């Protein structure tokens, strides 16, 4: 139990540690899936190619992300850091990213800015993944306050980061017992940030998705990559609702029907991809903006459909964490990449570029 008499900053510090710790524990063991809402990947089938004219063994999974070559179109999404056990998790995630030569994000670095104690739990990532793209991470509430040059440098230098990921998490903050729901000035501060930061800025949701109109505003603010992080995987409202009821008992903040709606709030991942693909078609000047598909990715089939729906790569958090917990992280990634190869074979795609141009049949 947190001692409320301790100084304000160490009280905040303990809350942050408790939060990051419970997030891992609740995502591993809690009921945090959307109820009655899916990612939407099941709406689509690839068209079978009876004449693929390729050898399975020649299929090439490599592609690029932000101009650098990566071995496969998969990223390990931002998760953790900022408390002692997080160093071990981040080390293991980094080892897997380095092994597969795929990009990796760390969890929110707010803790590293406020307190020097746990900086190593972030820095460890670069030690164990010296050659892959690594992304720093910070939340919208910190962006809204405005990041100083010193804070930006601290985050980037700790990781020798290749970019900064900003997460937009209004629904999560709304449900979080200690949530910060002041989302004014985020866009304005993002524009200021992209104008001065020496690396690309990626903006993501955490499970409610990014609409085309939000995407357009982000791109106008100088954002180079959008990670849709749509609905169908983890409901972060549910994660925070579990933390809330542990602290305060039953949630009486909302009426029962509205609570059900809010806990399952969000745009399915495949819908976000479809809509943003249409937006990019309408605006040819957005051609260079890269899209990450995430939110409920759970197989190489989902990765393949993401690419055919316009994503540069797909990213996964919860399934990576679960696999790590079960000691099967490398096996899981290998299996997903093999799923992807199988779909490429049957759709007649020898390369990721060819897969991106394959037709999906919309069964809806």
Ligand X SMILES: Cc1cc2nc3c(=O)[nH]c(=O)nc-3n(C[C@H](O)[C@H](O)[C@H](O)COP(=O)(O)O)c2cc1C
Interface residues with ligand X (CB under 6 A)? 23-24, 27, 77-80, 107-108, 137, 165, 167, 204, 206-207, 229, 233-234, 294-297, 316-318, 321
Element (H, E) at 157: helix 149-159
Q: Which is nearer to ligand X, 207 or 310 (CB)?
A: 207
Q: Which is nearer to ligand X, 74 or 79 (CB)?
A: 79
Q: Which is nearer to ligand X, 79 or 344 (CB)?
A: 79
Q: How far is the CB of 230 from ligand X (least distance, A)?
A: 8
Distance CA 251, CA 249 (A): 6
Per-residue b or e along 89-110, where b marks 16 or more CB atoms closer than 10 Å to that residue's CB: bbbbbbebbbbbebbbbbbbbb
For residues 230 and 208, is the Cβ–Cβ distance under 8 A? yes
Q: How far is the CB of 351 from ligand X (least distance, A)?
A: 25
Q: From residue 176, how far is each of 15, 16, 173, 180, 277 by CA, in Å?
A: 11, 12, 5, 8, 32
Cβ count within 10 A of residue 331: 11
Q: How far is the CB of 357 from ligand X (least distance, A)?
A: 26
Using CB positions, name the residue nearest to ligand X. 233
Q: How far is the CB of 9 from ligand X (least distance, A)?
A: 20
Nearest to 358 by CA among 347, 350, 345: 347
Q: Which is nearer to ligand X, 234 or 307 (CB)?
A: 234
Q: Which is nearer to ligand X, 107 or 300 (CB)?
A: 107
Our measurement of the distance from residue 37's CA atom to the centroid of its chain's CA atoms, rounded to an integer in Å, reads: 19
Q: How far is the CB of 38 from ligand X (least distance, A)?
A: 12
Distance CA 15, CA 8 (A): 11
Q: How far is the CB of 122 from ligand X (least distance, A)?
A: 11
Helix, strand, coil fractions of the chain, as percent rounded to 5: 50, 15, 35
Distance CA 205, CA 225 (A): 12
Q: Which is nearer to ligand X, 331 or 359 (CB)?
A: 331
């Amino acid at each position: 139990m947190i001692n409320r008499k301790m100084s304000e900053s160490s009280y905040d510090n303990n809350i942050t540690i408790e939060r990051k710790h419970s997030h891992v524990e609740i995502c591993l063991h809690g009921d945090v899936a959307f109820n009655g809402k899916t990612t939407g990947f099941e709406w689509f089938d690839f068209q079978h190619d009876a004449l693929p004219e390729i050898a399975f063994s020649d299929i090439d999974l490599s592609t690029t992300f932000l101009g650098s070559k990566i071995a496969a179109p998969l990223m390990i999404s931002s998760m953790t850091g900022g408390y002692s056990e997080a160093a071990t998790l981040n080390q293991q995630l980094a080892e897997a990213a380095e092994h597969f030569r795929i990009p990796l994000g760390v969890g929110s670095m707010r803790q590293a800015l406020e307190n020097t104690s746990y900086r190593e739990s972030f820095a460890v990532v670069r030690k164990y993944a010296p050659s892959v793209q690594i992304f720093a991470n910070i939340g919208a509430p910190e962006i809204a306050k405005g990041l100083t040059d010193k804070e930006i440098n601290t985050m980037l230098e700790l990781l020798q980061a290749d970019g900064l990921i900003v997460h937009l998490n209004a629904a999560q903050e709304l449900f979080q017992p200690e949530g910060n729901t002041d989302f004014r000035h985020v866009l304005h501060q993002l524009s200021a940030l992209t104008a001065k930061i020496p690396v690309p800025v990626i903006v993501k949701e955490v499970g409610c998705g990014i609409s085309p109109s939000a995407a357009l505003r982000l791109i106008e603010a100088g954002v180079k990559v959008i990670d849709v992080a749509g609905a169908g995987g983890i409901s972060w409202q549910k994660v925070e609702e579990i933390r809330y009821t542990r602290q305060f008992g039953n949630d009486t903040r909302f009426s029962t029907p509205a609570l059900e709606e809010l806990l399952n709030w969000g745009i399915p991942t495949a819908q976000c991809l479809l809509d943003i693909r249409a937006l990019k078609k309408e605006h040819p000047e957005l051609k260079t903006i890269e899209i990450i598909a995430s939110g409920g990715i759970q197989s190489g089939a989902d990765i393949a459909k993401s690419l055919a729906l316009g994503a540069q790569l797909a990213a996964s958090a919860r399934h990576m964490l679960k696999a790590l917990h079960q000691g099967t992280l490398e096996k899981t990634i290998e299996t997903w990449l093999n799923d992807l190869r199988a779909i490429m074979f049957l759709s007649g795609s020898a390369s990721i570029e060819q897969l991106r141009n394959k037709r999906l049949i919309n069964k809806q």
